[in-house]
Amino acid sequence: MTKPRIVIVGAGFGGLAAAAGLERAAVDVTVVDRQNHHLFQPLLYQVATAGLSPADIAWPVRSLLRRQKNARVLMGEVTAVNPADKIVVVDGRPVPYDGLVLATGATHGYFGNDEWAAHAPGLKTLDDATAIRRRLLLAFERAEMTSDPEDCARLLTIVIVGGGPTGVELAGAIAELARRTLARDFRAIDPARTRVVLVEAGPRVLANFPESLSAYTARALARLGVELRLGQPVTRCDAGGVAIGEARLSSATVIWAAGVAASPAARWLGIASDRAGRVRVTDRLQPAGHEDIWIIGDTAFATNPGGVPQPGIAPVAKQQGAYVARAIRARFEGGAPPPPFVYRDRGLLATIGRTAAVIAWRRLRLRGWLAWWIWGAAHVYFLVSLRNRLIVVTQWLWAYLLWERGARLITGRKD
């Protein structure tokens, strides 16, 4: 008898959680991703700022699923879904399904200004991280070579657009890279004079955190020398820098951390989406009218009881993936379906720099040194393999003791 065919598109946190939950189910699982690796995105900014190497935070998907006998992996790009015929098109080839999980994540969103992408790369993939690292390090190398003070100032001005966790973590890490790690490496320039400017259109950084922690974060960034531009949206971005409101800021390195856009899942299914491209799903994580499709992670717009949107963070995707696995087992193996999905809050965490972080969990508010240690322990714990945990801890310890970052390599094409 042919087993039900479950296709999971996306090997991120949600997709892998769904696959793992089906390990002992009487189904055949196919995991499709356009990359051959699973990425631990919360530490991606450390690759971009030369703290870690790409292999420290990524693992081949095939190795993660090698022991799961009912799972296979396809590396390819999904270009269409045919719900009527129950087919996913992968690199032009049809892959049939009985149950479909779309966990395709999100990419950078430029609020209708897609032409800015060439000048302000975002941070979602390893390619993004190594490209940003190359831009950062090349800026210092070119500043060392130039004899033009204005050009030097432009090269040593780094702008991060977006005051969420990614923007805050990037700003803190870049400030420490410039002022401590690179401080004695150059002769013609002083890296400590680098301007790191964090631009946020809203009134405060870390808008999803309590105001007290946002205020602490702003003070901690200021101590690192980061310039905050709050309540001032970027109105233009080009090869020469950005415009913040009406003011022009020359910069050779602009990094985008301000918005996201979901994958084209809504277009594949021919259904409506919200402004960010996310598909509105029911409390069972399904689009209306599609009983054999589940959508999770950044691809879905899901709410808890009371209409509170579930945040686009890894714990949400993992819980959703585990829930969908239970729902699929109930549907194809029989039994009562699980109750509607409700996200169990695991807290919000963000690090600002050396010994500074913030944590908000229910009524708990932590900041400073203790929060930084908890942040580090939590991220090490959720790394997939023991090998990577040991590597990351070793790299962090080395950096903590010596202010050294061992991944300062300029690779690939020079921009």
| For the chain, percent of residues with pLDDT exceeding 70 | 99
pLDDT in tens, 257-308: 998 888 899 999 999 899 889 999 999 999 999 999 999 999 999 999 888 8
404 is known as an active-site residue = no
CATH 3.50.50.100 fits 114-258, yes or no: yes
Residue 14 CA, chain-centre distance (Å), reads 13
- Confidence band of 30 (pLDDT split at 50, 70, 90): very high
Distance of CA 66 to CAs 15, 60, 62, 72, 234, Å? 16, 10, 6, 8, 46
Annotated catalytic residue, options 77, 169, 211, 227: 169
pLDDT in tens, 56-74: 999 999 999 999 999 999 9
Mean pLDDT of 144-169: 97
Query: Does the pTM of the predicted model rise above 0.85?
Result: yes
Q: Which pairs with CB-CB distance under 8 Å and at least 24 residues apart come from 342-345?
A: 342/283, 342/304, 342/305, 343/302, 343/304, 343/310, 343/315, 343/316, 343/319, 344/319
Evaluate whether 5-34+76-108+260-333 and 114-258 have a shared fold: yes
CATH 3.40.50.720 fits 5-34+76-108+260-333, yes or no: no
| Segments making up each domain of the chain, as ranges | 5-34+76-108+260-333, 114-258
